[in-house]
Structure 1
Amino acid sequence: MEISWIYAIISVIIVSLVSLVGVFILSSRKSLLENNLLYLVSFATGAILGNVFLHLIPEIVQTNGFGLEISLYILAGLLTAFVIEKIVHWKHMHKAGESHVHPISYLILIGDGIHNFIDGMVIGAVYLTNIPIGIATTISIIFHEIPQEIGDFSILINSGMTRAKALFYNFVSALTALLGTAIVLVIGSTTPSLEGILIPFAVGNFIYIAAADLIPEMHKETELSKSAIQFLTFLAGIGIMLVLALG
């Protein structure tokens, strides 16, 4: 087994285990969780954008140049993220106070499963290209997944699931990332052009997540002191990606 395969498999297992972050909700006070989540989202935004502009795009340019075809792959990644989010946003159909499990919960899980599958494919593709960039991509995915999984876990609970079931189904949904990685590692080793498609696709996906989901969340905070800390954690996320790029 190639070293890149080992890195990819370990990385996707770690990303999948992030879905268990719901456990911490069970032992955390709501106010404490919300305060930490604010800065975690800021850090995740910086890490994702740092990974895109300091790792992935330079790798694309160095390997394939940057022409119309690459731009189309990036747009495809952005549009795919938009469609997946449209599906997940149907969660707002949920009516508070229902005692049974709302069917929309399972739609959320399906949407997350697709998203995790794509994350897994991206991890596999990037590691086949460059191990250090694979590590940076894994870190950015992890810091995006933590606030997302906390939110998903909360939604499932509010939709009528027990905590144990919500945690279990959320974890099963996360395991689709393993499938995505496995497919890319097997196919990618015989089809080198696959990385040339998936890496720009990931760029579009990440840009959409940062611009459409995370940055609007950051703007909800208007208190000056908290906004300053938020900006610093945003820079810290970029800083970690810069250190990895220079290293």
Structure 2
Amino acid sequence: MNVWIPALLSVLVVSVISLVGIIAIALREKTLYKLLVILVSFSAGALLGDSFFHLLPRAVGNSGSFAFNISFFVLIGILSFFVLEKVVLWRHCHHLLDEGAECKVHTSKPFATMNLIGDGVHNLLDGLVIGGSYAVNFGLGLTTTLAVIFHEIPQEIGDFGVLVAGGYSRGRALLFNFLTAITSFVGVVIALLLTSSIANFTIFLVPFTAGGFIYIAASDLIPELHKQTPTVKKVLIELLSFSLGIVLLWLLIFIE
């Protein structure tokens, strides 16, 4: 199968997900908060599930063993996403999980604009990892796309809130969110061109992607869940959603 078609269709779906921010308008704050708790928990599980059930096993399969280069490229992925977050001020801003609290100190228009730039870079990376995964095989491309989508939904809702709080109208916030999402097409084209012209490029890209996903789940999503006041009900909901994300990606092993 021509990998270009499913890869481009996948990033198209991911780009359309950017419009999900409109949900922030339609739902009451309390309902939105409860929804985000479930989505963030689920996406954390899905990202870790994709990393440990699909990406890392594929990286080991490509190398023949869990060689030093796999560990090294995973750490490079973690470090790269850390630097990106620090330098570009990329914030997923799931701060609605702060039990209704607004994005303190992050509601200025300059920050909202910087958030757009960071999102553009982030979406370009989404395209890179999706394209690189499809270059390995269709199953890995599909599972990686699903993991990205599950993460994008709560992120885009948060980003929409940042833009509106920063002075953008709702229409302009949706438009600019969508425009930054289109950079994922640039990423997928770069990935597919590199994998077709550079031998063994996926040996780097697959564990790099795993490292990036592990970083997002462990340092961005999971800490957000600790910001709210814990109750037995909330913890059980988070645990169930987190586990469902992991289980879903485990089940997808059978289609890869």
Q: What's the TM-score once normalised by structure 2's chain length? A: 0.89
Give structure 1 stretches of 5+ with no counterpart. Answer: none
Cα deviation for residue 89 of structure 1 reads: 5.7
Cα deviation for residue 140 of structure 1 reads: 0.6
| 1:158 aligned partner | 165
The question of 1:118 aligning with 2:125 is answered: yes
How many percent identity over aligned positions? 43
8 Å contact kept, 1:188–1:195: yes
Query: How far apart, in 1, do the equivalents of 2:57 and 2:13 lie?
Result: 26
Cα deviation for residue 21 of structure 1 reads: 0.7
One-letter amino acid of the counterpart of residue 185, structure 1:
L
Query: How far apart, in 1, do the equivalents of 2:158 and 2:142 lie?
Result: 25
The question of 1:245 aligning with 2:253 is answered: yes
Cα deviation for residue 154 of structure 1 reads: 0.5
The question of 1:174 aligning with 2:189 is answered: no
Query: How far apart, in 1, do the equivalents of 2:90 and 2:146 lie?
Result: 26
The question of 1:228 aligning with 2:233 is answered: no
SS in 2 for 1:3: coil
Match of 2:191 among 184, 191, 207: 184
Query: How far apart, in 2, do the equivalents of 1:95 and 1:59 lie?
Result: 39
| 1:88 aligned partner | 89
Return closer, same or farther for 1:177/1:89 CA change in 2, 3 Å cut-off. closer
Query: How far apart, in 1, do the equivalents of 2:43 and 2:187 lie?
Result: 22
8 Å contact kept, 1:94–1:102: no
Query: How far apart, in 1, do the equivalents of 2:197 and 2:39 lie?
Result: 38
Cα deviation for residue 104 of structure 1 reads: 1.9
CA RMSD of superposed structures (Å)? 1.8
The question of 1:75 aligning with 2:82 is answered: no
Deviations 1:56-84 (A, max 9, x none): 00000011132222222111111111122
Give structure 2 stretches of 5+ with no counterpart. Answer: 94-102
Cα deviation for residue 192 of structure 1 reads: 3.4
Q: What's the TM-score once normalised by structure 1's chain length? A: 0.92
Deviations 1:177-229 (A, max 9, x none): 11100111123112232211111111111011011011111223411012112
Tell which deviates more after alignment, 2-11 or 202-211.
Answer: 2-11
One-letter amino acid of the counterpart of residue 238, structure 1:
I
Number of equivalenced pairs: 242
Query: How far apart, in 2, do the equivalents of 1:82 and 1:93 lie?
Result: 22
| 1:29 aligned partner | 28
The question of 1:7 aligning with 2:6 is answered: yes
Match of 2:138 among 128, 131, 134: 131
SS in 2 for 1:108: helix
Cα deviation for residue 3 of structure 1 reads: 2.9
